[in-house]
Amino acid sequence: MAKIIMHIDLNAFFATCEQIRDPRLIGQPIIIGHPGRSGIVSTASYEARKFGCHSGQPTFQALKLCPQALVIPPDFDYYQVMSNSFVAYLQRFSKIYESASIDECYVDMTKPLKDCPDPKQYLLDLQQGLLNETGLKCSIGIAPTKFLAKMASDMKKPMGLVFLRRRDIPTLLYPLPIEAFWGIGKKTSPKLRAMGITTIGELAKRANALDPLLMEELGKFFYVIKDWVNGYGSDTIDMAPFDPKSIGNSETLMHDCDTEEEIAPVIKRLSEEVASRARADKKVGCTVTLVVKDTAFHLHNKSVSFRDSTNDSEEIYSKALNLYRTSFLGLLIRLVGVTLGKLSDPSKETVQMSLWNYEKFEEQDRTRLLINELNRKMEKPLLMRGSEAQKKGGKHGDF
């Protein structure tokens, strides 16, 4: 018996979180990202997307398309809290789930839907229940494999529900443009178009014919794709928690830069994002790596390791900035990245940490748990730590 796999994808997650925190933003075009010439859009609300704004776009370009959009810096700690609420809600329906990212999950719905008299209504109720309880909107794809479920959830947004069975593949999947194929990147799709493959259906036809040119282009990935386009592939939900060994963020600059005055603010911003993600994952690290890409597209990196693990943004920034000063000052740069590595859970740390550092981490964690519990009881995220409110300048959620 085929499994029933659900892929559930939160719609414009970061933007929706900000609208939940500040209802005055509902219905307005907002951009999650950083302002300035080097800022990049993390996501945009659907109101902003109507003007052509999208993730990965330089912020200045998005603002040219939608000058009235409000730019809000990302708050990964808050987004992680909302993501945890999302996962907790899904666990009511199935304990077999796999977090694919902060805003999407695969869920084995075989047992819940096996004897369900009206699967469509059941899933619509699940979707509406998530909206009612958390304010989060989602799109749902239902299919016998993870790939098909992922493709189905992308077919209708926001608040979509699409069933993609094997018999539906010719009518629902094959007409889609080749760029819509999950797993084929921006570099491969133009090459496939050059070979005359413009739709997923044409890809399936050439794959089933064992086209030697296609086999050469796709390499080892060929047989995986051949299975996918015929409705086969993995249906295994990996329940092992994701345990990253490093956390990093990078940013492509709007123009090439070679001065500390231009580069330091980018390093600081990236350090704050990395620290925020590490705190959300309850991780500390003892290696900071700075990565830069020069104008010839060559990557360079330098790292520094230290004894006392940290997830403090100022410490990460200080070490990353020192790496820039000692190794890359004066180099013409087009991309900057900051990574916190050799991550560990301080509550399970076997290496002796300084007592002050550990107690500081525990105090911060207890404070977050208390705030989250109070917000849950009040059914609104009204409270935050003073340091977070100060960082936001009193905006969005600082009541």
Over its C-alpha atoms, the chain yields an Rg (Å, rounded) of 23
Report the candidate in 332, 266, 329 with the shortest Cα–Cα distance to residue 296.
332
Q: What CA–CA distance (Å, rounded) separates 166 from 182? A: 17
Contact 139, 156 (CB under 8 A): yes
Beta bridge partners of 30: 70
Contact 163, 143 (CB under 8 A): yes
What are 37's two structure tokens? Answer: 């010439």
Q: Measure the N-to-C terminal CA separation of the chain; round to a whole number of Å.
A: 53
Q: Who contacts 359 (Cβ-Cβ below 8 Å, separation ≥6)?
A: none
Phi/psi region, residue 60 (left: phi>0; alpha: psi -120 to 50; beta: rest), is alpha
Q: Who contacts 171 (Cβ-Cβ below 8 Å, separation ≥6)?
A: none
* 104 noted as active-site residue: yes
Provide the Cα torsion 171, 174, 177, 179; round to 10°: 130
DSSP string for residues in 57-68: SBHHHHHHH-TT
Which of the residues 18, 47, 98, 104 is marked catalytic?
A: 104
What are 302's two structure tokens? Answer: 């330098």
CB < 8 Å & 24+ apart, contacts of 85-93 = 85/134, 85/136, 86/10, 86/130, 86/134, 86/136, 89/129, 89/130, 89/133, 89/134, 90/8, 93/126
Active site residues: 104
